[in-house]
Amino acid sequence: MNSSSQAFFSHDKSKLLSLFLLCMYLLPLVILRENAYIYIFDNLDSVLVYDLVLKKSGTIFSSGSTIVPNIMNGIPRSFFQSGINIYMVLIYFFNNILYAYILNAVIVHFIAYIGMYRLLSTINSIQDNEETGQVKFIKAFAALCFAVLPFQTNYGLCIAGIPLLFSAYLGLLTNPRQRVLNYLCIAIYPLYCINIFSTPFVTAAIILFGVYVFIKHKDYYLNYFIYGILLLVALFIVTDYQILYGVLVKSKDISHRYDFHLENYYPSIFSSFIPTFLWYFIFQTKMTEYCLQLGVIIAIVVLLILQKRIKNPITKALLWLNLIVCIYWVINETSEFQAFKNNLGFLRTYHTTRFSFLLPTSWYVVFFLVLKEIYDKTKKIGLCRALIALQLIIILVSHPQGMMVLKRIIGYNKNTEKEVTYKQLYSTELFSDINHYIGKPQSSYRVVCVGFLPSIALFNGFYTLDNYQNNYLLSYKKKFRLVIEKELAKSEEYRKQFDYWGHTCEIKTSEIPFFKQAVLNKTCNYKINNLEINTTALKDLGCQYVFSAVEIKNFEKLHMKFLKSFERNDSMWKIYVYQLL
C-alpha cells in the first residue's frame, strides 16, 4: 500500500474527529429529508428536475434522438446529461428521487474528503516531510474544510472529485506499485460527473502538469501517467458520446445556445474587472455556492507577517495558478471576450470559464501547505487550530442551508424566499389537488407557470411549455418569444436575459422585480394588473392552462377563464389556475 493509502487507513485521532464532524455536517440532510433546506437555484429548480423527468419519461438510458416530451413540447435526449453515470443509476433504482439525492450528497462529500486527504498525503510524501501528529491534524482538517464546501452535488464529482483525480495521477508518477488503485480512482471521475462541464478543463490541466513533470523530473513514471490520461479521455468519450456527437456533428436539432449573444449581456472589462476579480479571488467559484477561501487568505497573511515570504514552491505555484485562473475567469465574462468568442464555432455555446473548477482544490492544498509552514515557523499548533476553526466558521456561516438550520436551532422562524424546505418548495399535495381538479391525464395538456418555477410543476408530473432550461431547441425559443414579446419590450432586464442568453424561457411581468418572480409565495402582496402575453401564440404551442402564484387581474382581456385558487397550510404557494378559451 502506498503512502497516501496508508495515511488514510491509519487510525489517528485527528482523522477520526474530522470524519465525525463531516458526519455531523451531513446529518441534518439525512434526518430531515424532505424537511431539509436544500439550495434551490441551479439545483432544485433545474438539474434535479431534469433528472426526474428523464426517470418519469423512461428515457434515462435512451438514445440521443429520443424525444423527452415533458418539457417545451419535447427536447432531444442528447440535450440532457448522460445516463452512463453513477448518480443517474441511483435515480433509476430509487423510487423517491430525494433518497437518491441524499445518498449521492453523502457519497460526494465523503469522496471529497478522501480525495483531499489522499492528495495532501501524496504531496507531503513527495516533499519528504515527516508526518508528526500536528501535521496529521492539519491535513485531516484541511481535508474537512474542503469536504464541507457547499458542492452542488447533482453535478457529482465535477469539483469534489478533482483532489482524488490529481492524487491518482501523482501516484502514477511517483509510485507505480499502486497503479491499479490509481487507475480505479481515475475511472470513478468520468463515471460520476457531468463530463462536458468539467472533464475537458481538468484533462487540459493534467496534461499541462504532465508536461511540467516531464521537463523537471524525467525519472518519474511518465508512461503510467499517459495511460491514465488515455483512460480518462476514453471514458469521457464513452459516457458522453451523445452530447459530443451533437456538439461535433452538424444536426437538425440546433440548441438555443447557438443564439447566445453574451457580448451584449456581460459588462465591459473596463467597468467590472477589479470588483469582479476580487469577488472571484476571495469568495466564489462555479458549482459550489461559494468557494469561501477568505480564511485561507487570512492564513497566508499570517504566514507573511511571520516570515515575510512563502518558502514552499508548490504553494507559490498554486497561488500563481489561482491568480491566472481568476484573471482568465473575469476576462471571459466580459463583453469584449464574448465578442471574440462568437467567432470560435461551437465554443460560443460553451462556458469556457470552467477552469475555475480547479480553484477549490488548489486553495485547500494551499491552506494545508501554509498552515504547515506556520507550524514549522512557530511550533504553535494552537494558531493553526484557530485558523482552521475560522475557516470552518466562514464556510458554515456563509452557507445558506447551514444558516437556516442554525436559525431553527435557536428558535428564529422568520423565512426569506430562499429559506424553503424541499417539501414546501415542491408542495406535492397542493399540486395533486390541482391535478385531480383538472381531471385529465397530465400528458394530454400543457401548462405554463407565472410567478413560480416551472420546474415545480414538472416535478409534480405536469407537462410545461416553459422552464429554466440550459439546453433546448432554438426553434422553440423563437416560438416562445412570440408569446412574451410585449413583456420583453417593457423590461430591458427580461429582454437581455431572454434574447442574449435564453436559459430562462419563462413568462415574466414588468410589474414585479425580475429576480423575485421565481418564488412569489402566498405571503407576498403582488398582483399582476396588466399581463401582456400573446395567448393565441400560447395556444398554438398547445397550452390549455396557466398556473400563477399571483392573481392576474386582466385574465378576461387575455381570453382566459379563472377556474379556482389552491392553497394548503403546509405549502408556501397559492396557485391560481386559469384556462385558455
What 3-state class would DSSP assign to 399? Answer: coil
C-alpha to C-alpha distance for 59 and 349, rounded to whole angstroms: 25
Beta bridge partner(s), residue 577: 547, 564
H-state helical runs in 499-544:
535-540
pLDDT (mean) for 98-106: 94
For residue 358, the 8-state DSSP code is: G
All three cell numbers of 274, joined, read 477589479
- Do 482 and 533 meet the contact criterion of CB atoms below 8 Å apart? no
Query: Between β-strands 75-76 and 67-68, what pairing exists: parallel, antiparallel or unpaired?
Result: antiparallel
Q: Locate all alpha helices (DSSP H) within 399-473, ordered by sequence.
A: 400-409, 422-426, 428-438, 454-459
Residue 171 has pLDDT above 70, yes or no: yes
pLDDT at position 473 is: 92
Between residues 193 and 336, the one the model is more confident about: 193
How many whole angstroms separate alpha carbon 338 and alpha carbon 343?
A: 9
565's CB contacts (< 8 A; 6+ apart) are 551, 574, 575, 576, 577
Please tell me the predicted confidence (pLDDT) of residue 415. Answer: 54
Give the DSSP letter string of 524-581: ----BS-----HHHHHHTTEEEEEESS-BTTTTTTTEEEEEEEE-TT-S-EEEEEEE-
The pLDDT value given to residue 417: 53
The cell for 577 is: 389556475
Can you tell me the mean pLDDT for 151-175? Answer: 89
Q: Considering only CA atoms, which of 563, 325, 328 is closest in space to residue 433?
A: 563
Q: What is the pLDDT of residue 38?
A: 83
Beta bridge partner(s), residue 580: 560
At 371, the pLDDT band (50, 70, 90 cuts) reads very high
Task: Write the pLDDT tens digit of every residue in 421-476.
Answer: 889 899 999 999 999 999 999 999 999 999 899 999 999 999 999 999 988 999 99
Which three cell numbers, joined as nine digits, stand for 554?
386582466
Enter the C-alpha cell of residue 536.
Answer: 393565441
Q: What is the pLDDT of residues 341-364, one digit of tens each?
A: 777 666 666 677 777 888 889 999
| Cβ atoms of residues 317 and 272 within 8 Å | no
Please give the Cα distance from 466 to 133 (Å, whole number). Answer: 57
pLDDT at 184: 94
| Interval 72-89: pLDDT, tens | 999 998 888 888 889 999
For the chain, the structural domain boundaries read: 12-45+81-254+269-409, 425-580
* Grid cell listed for 288: 459550489
Q: Read off the pLDDT of each residue in 305-328 and give the average, rounded to a whole number.
A: 86
H-run or E-run covering 119: helix 97-126
What's the average model confidence in pLDDT over 234-242? 84
- Overall average pLDDT of the 7-19 stretch: 74
| pLDDT one-digit tens code per residue, 533-557 | 999 999 999 999 999 999 999 989 9
Of 156-170, 302-316, 519-533, highest mean pLDDT: 156-170
Give dist(CA 59, CA 204) in Å, integer. 32
What pLDDT is attached to residue 162?
Answer: 93
d(CA 543, CA 484): 14
Strands 67-68 and 467-468: unpaired
Is pTM beyond 0.85? Reply is yes
Please, what is the average pLDDT of the chain? 85
State what percent of residues in the chain have pLDDT above 70: 89
